[in-house]
Amino acid sequence: MTMQISVSPSHNIDGTLILPLFEGTDLVPEAHATGLHVALKAQINRVLADGDFKGKAKSTMTLVGSEGGKAMLVGLGKEDDADAHAYRKAGAAVVAARKKTHGTDLTVRFAGADVESMGAFAEGMLLRDYSYDEYKMQKEEDKEAERNVRITCDEGQEEELEALVSIYAGVASGVHLSRDLGNCPPNDMYPEAFSDMAWEWAKQYENVEVTIINYEHAIKAGMGGLVAVGMGSSRKPCMVIFEMNKELPGRCPLLVGKGITFDTGGISLKPGANMDEMKYDMGGSATVFGTMQALASTGYEGKVVAITCMAENMPAANAQRPGDVITTLSGKTIEVLNTDAEGRLVLSDGLWKAGEFDPEFIIDFATLTGACVVALGHEATGLWSNDDDFRSKIHDAGNAVDELAWPMPLLPAFEKEMTDSKIADTRNLGAGRYGGANTAAAFLKQFVPNRNYDEDGEQITWAHMDIAGTYWGAKTNTMVGNGATGIHVRTMYHLITNWNN
- Does 230 bind ligand BES (CB under 6 A)? Our answer is no
Look at residue 369 and give the partner it binds from Zn ion, ligand BES, none, a contact being a CB closer than 5 to 8 Å depending on partner kind: ligand BES
- What's the closest the beta carbon of residue 265 comes to Zn ion, in angstroms? 5
Interatomic CA distance for residues 311 and 227, integer angstroms? 8
Which position's Cβ is nearest ligand BES? 370
Task: State the maximum Cα–Cα separation within the chain, in Å, rounded to a whole number.
Answer: 82
Neighbours of 397 (CB within 10 A): 21
Instruction: Output 263 or 364, the one with its CB closest to Zn ion.
Output: 263
- Does 164 bind ligand BES (CB under 6 A)? Our answer is no
Instruction: Output 291 or 367, the one with its CB closest to ligand BES.
Output: 367
Residue whose C-alpha is closest to residue 251's, from 151, 167, 356: 356
Look at residue 371 and give the partner it binds from Zn ion, ligand BES, none, a contact being a CB closer than 5 to 8 Å depending on partner kind: ligand BES
**HSE-up of 442 (CA within 13 Å, CB side)?**
23
Radius of gyration of the chain (CA): 24
Strands 60-64 and 70-75: antiparallel
- What's the closest the beta carbon of residue 372 comes to ligand BES, in angstroms? 8
Nearest 5°: phi and psi at 70? -145, 140
Residue whose C-alpha is closest to residue 112's, from 79, 88, 85, 73: 79
Catalytic, out of 344, 353, 427, 490: 344
Annotation says 332 is catalytic: no
- What's the closest the beta carbon of residue 371 comes to ligand BES, in angstroms? 6
- What's the closest the beta carbon of residue 263 comes to Zn ion, in angstroms? 4
Buried b (16+ CB within 10 A) or exposed e, 411-429: eeebbebbeebeebbbbbb
In 3-state terms the chain splits into helix, strand, coil percentages (rounded to 5) of 40, 20, 45
Interatomic CA distance for residues 227 and 237, integer angstroms? 7
- What's the closest the beta carbon of residue 282 comes to Zn ion, in angstroms? 9
Interatomic CA distance for residues 347 and 342, integer angstroms? 9
Contacting residue, 429, 460, 492, 495, with ligand BES by CB under 6 A: 429
Instruction: Output 210 or 468, the one with its CB closest to ligand BES.
Output: 468
Interatomic CA distance for residues 421 and 443, integer angstroms? 12
Catalytic, out of 246, 270, 393, 451: 270
Interface with Zn ion by CB under 5 A: which residues?
A: 260, 263, 281, 340, 342-343
Interatomic CA distance for residues 381 and 377, integer angstroms? 9
Instruction: Output 367 or 461, the one with its CB closest to ligand BES.
Output: 367
- What's the closest the beta carbon of residue 281 comes to ligand BES, in angstroms? 4
Q: How many chain residues touch ligand BES (CB under 6 A)?
A: 16
Annotation says 128 is catalytic: no
- Does 257 bind ligand BES (CB under 6 A)? Our answer is no
Instruction: Output 47 or 275, the one with its CB closest to ligand BES.
Output: 275
Instruction: Output 20 or 486, the one with its CB closest to ligand BES.
Output: 486
Strands 381-385 and 325-327: unpaired
Instruction: Give yes or no for a contact between 59 and 48, defined as CB atoms under 8 angstroms apart.
Output: no
- Does 315 bind ligand BES (CB under 6 A)? Our answer is no
501 sits in which H/E element: none
- Does 253 bind ligand BES (CB under 6 A)? Our answer is no
- Does 118 bind ligand BES (CB under 6 A)? Our answer is no
Which residues inside 333-372 make contact with ligand BES, applying CB under 6 A? Answer: 338, 340-343, 367-371
Contacting residue, 55, 259, 382, 436, with ligand BES by CB under 6 A: 436
- Does 466 bind ligand BES (CB under 6 A)? Our answer is no
- Does 184 bind ligand BES (CB under 6 A)? Our answer is no
Interatomic CA distance for residues 240 and 259, integer angstroms? 10
Instruction: Output 257 or 343, the one with its CB closest to ligand BES.
Output: 343
Residue whose C-alpha is closest to residue 150's, from 115, 179, 107, 112: 107
- Does 243 bind ligand BES (CB under 6 A)? Our answer is no
Nearest 5°: phi and psi at 176? -70, -35
Catalytic residues: 270, 344
Q: Which residues bind ligand BES (CB under 6 A)?
A: 263, 281, 338, 340-343, 367-371, 373, 429, 436, 468
